[in-house]
Amino acid sequence: MIPMPPQAVKYIGAALAILAVFGFGYYKGHSAVQARFDTYKAEVAATAAAQEEKTQQIDSKNQKLIKETKDAYNNQLANLRAYYGMRYNKSGGTMPQVPYTPGGANDYSPDNLPPTPILAGQCAETTLTLILLQQFITSAANNAE
């Protein structure tokens, strides 16, 4: 063996001791940070699960709302069309109409609009659509709260 001076052994021992203390401190610090990070990940996972459950509840409410709104719209639209269809087809008889009859006040408009009963029916359908859409948006916003 090569003889080493006692002072070199002392410096090497001190350096090894310093490295051991630094390594121990680094390990303790890293394990503490890792423990806090694991706790944080568990919190985030729990919050995400709770939010996903809440989102599923809102989605199920919205699906029910969509179905109810669609059914209500279709029913009311059928009623409107039946009502305005009866107004447009004024006669309930099965006799054919006389061909080439002159147009009445409901048949012509200067703006080339459809006859008044048809126009009234189209306006009523548009109004119904608007009203039900506004109700749907309000209800959907209430579901999200």
Note the residue count of the chain: 145
Q: Which residues contact 73 (CB under 8 A, 6 or more apart)?
A: 128, 129, 132
Q: Where are the domains of the chain?
A: 9-88+108-144
- DSSP reduced 3-state for 129: helix
CA distance 139 to 62: 9
Looking at residue 70, its pLDDT comes to 94
All residue ranges of the chain with pLDDT < 70 are 1, 87-110
CA atoms within 13 A on the CB side of 134: 5
Looking at residue 116, its pLDDT comes to 75
The angle subtended at Cα 61 by Cα 56 and Cα 62, nearest 5°, is 95
Looking at residue 103, its pLDDT comes to 57
Looking at residue 2, its pLDDT comes to 75
At residue 96, φ and ψ (nearest 5 deg) are -70, 150
Looking at residue 75, its pLDDT comes to 95
